[in-house]
Amino acid sequence: MRNQCQILSWKIPSSKKLDNKLHSLCSYMAMFPPGLPRHFIEKYSKEGDKVLDPFSGRATTILESCLLGREGIGNDKNPLAHLLTKSKSNLPSKKRLISKLNDLEREYYGSDKINIKGEEKNIRMLFHDYTLRQLIFLKNKLDWKKRNVDAFIASMIVGIIHGNSEGYLSISMPNTFSMSSNYIKNYIKEFNLQKPRRDVFNILRKRLEKYSLDEISLEKGKAYNLDARNIYPLKNNSIDLIITSPPYTKVIRYGQFNWIRLWFLDKFAKDVDGDLFFTQSIDKYCYFMSEVLKELKRVLKSGKKLVLVIGDIKEKELANIVWERCAKPLGFKLIKNIKDEINDDRKVSKIWGKKRGNVTKIDRILVLEKN
């Protein structure tokens, strides 16, 4: 009865020593530990293969694929995720990055003083005027959609835009996600927080050293910013392996929790959340997943694997529901159903404490095969 969910227990083969530092370019909610995609890439693909993640997030699958000599193809509707995927799938050289940073800095000091008075109060309360001027200059100058060098610099900036040590640009706050502006306002008042005077160019140069870009050899990849239900640039039967975790909880609002990072990308959190899939209804979820799986079936080659990581929700084994109601009717074959018990350090929803909603500590990994 293989197709009746034979459940295997599993511990992610993880060794932080193996994790490339580029994974931490910018924090992202519900990100994979790199050991997870690495395991499946090594098991189910070979060098030169095309590996797709249609919900690529911070591009964990894509970076691991490119590091292992596969072509990593990422897609995510969230512009922040798209930026990170673009950066990690097409790394510029350290030389080009330093030269671009030097040019930008020269231009900044040669131009008129930037007026910060027009900037929203919510942004002004976070940064020292000196830092904010540099940020606004860079925000206007970096053409991250068109140029890889600019995309990598923009990724580094969103990675350090808020945090709680000298390597970050804002008043002291968590790096993982942005709290609401009202919460921050009250917090600043209560603890009399002072805005630190940080030099963006110097911090970026230091940060760049951390990634040892000259030592990395990477296959080039691709990044799309489309709805996962229609990744139209991908040809039928063109992909050798898909590894992904679709959005699955009510808890994560990628726009709202990244409103500061999105400000730098000139995007509004509300618009981003409006574009991303979000529901509490199992029926709507199943409808969405059926559409996604139809599209993934279209692009995947016959006999190749689709690895789906799905978090269980209270009282429901969501992965089993997805298998029964969405994947099985489409003719996928169930190869494995793996139960991955997650320690709280890894599950990003822990940051909400009691508000973690209906998320449990279990992720399930469905390994499916296209006939």
Ligand X SMILES: C[S@@+](CC[C@H](N)C(=O)[O-])C[C@H]1O[C@@H](n2cnc3c(N)ncnc32)[C@H](O)[C@@H]1O
Residues in the site for ligand X, rule: CB under 6 A? 28, 30-32, 55, 57-58, 60, 76-78, 81, 227-228, 245, 247, 254, 276-277
Minimum CB–partner distance for residue 77 and ligand X (Å) = 4
C-alpha distances (whole Å) from 102 to each of 97, 108, 162, 215 are: 9, 10, 23, 22
DSSP-based three-state secondary structure for 4: coil
Minimum CB–partner distance for residue 299 and ligand X (Å) = 14
Q: In this complex, which beta carbon is closest to ligand X, that of residue 205 or of residue 356?
A: 356
Minimum CB–partner distance for residue 181 and ligand X (Å) = 21
Q: In this complex, which beta carbon is closest to ligand X, that of residue 44 or of residue 254?
A: 254
DSSP-based three-state secondary structure for 87: helix
Q: In this complex, which beta carbon is closest to ligand X, that of residue 154 or of residue 184?
A: 154
Q: In this complex, which beta carbon is closest to ligand X, that of residue 214 or of residue 344?
A: 344
- Give the separation between CA 215 and CA 22, rounded to whole angstroms: 12
Q: In this complex, which beta carbon is closest to ligand X, that of residue 163 or of residue 246?
A: 246
Minimum CB–partner distance for residue 25 and ligand X (Å) = 11
Minimum CB–partner distance for residue 58 and ligand X (Å) = 4
Q: Which residue is nearest to ligand X (CB)?
A: 57
- Give the separation between CA 274 and CA 178, rounded to whole angstroms: 18
Tokens 């540099």 belong to residue: 134
Tokens 């691709």 belong to residue: 222
In contact, 2 and 334? CB cutoff 8 Å: yes
Contacts of 280 (CB under 8 A, 6+ apart): 250, 358
Please name which of 173, 186, 110, 182 lies closest in space to residue 141, comparing C-alpha atoms: 110
Minimum CB–partner distance for residue 89 and ligand X (Å) = 13
Written in H, E and C, the secondary structure of 118-143 is CCCHHHHCCCCHHHHHHHHHHHHHCC
Minimum CB–partner distance for residue 52 and ligand X (Å) = 12
* Tokens describing residue 30: 């519900």
CA geometry: angle 164, 63, 145, nearest 5 deg: 75
Q: In this complex, which beta carbon is closest to ligand X, that of residue 93 or of residue 343?
A: 343
Q: In this complex, which beta carbon is closest to ligand X, that of residue 310 or of residue 327?
A: 310
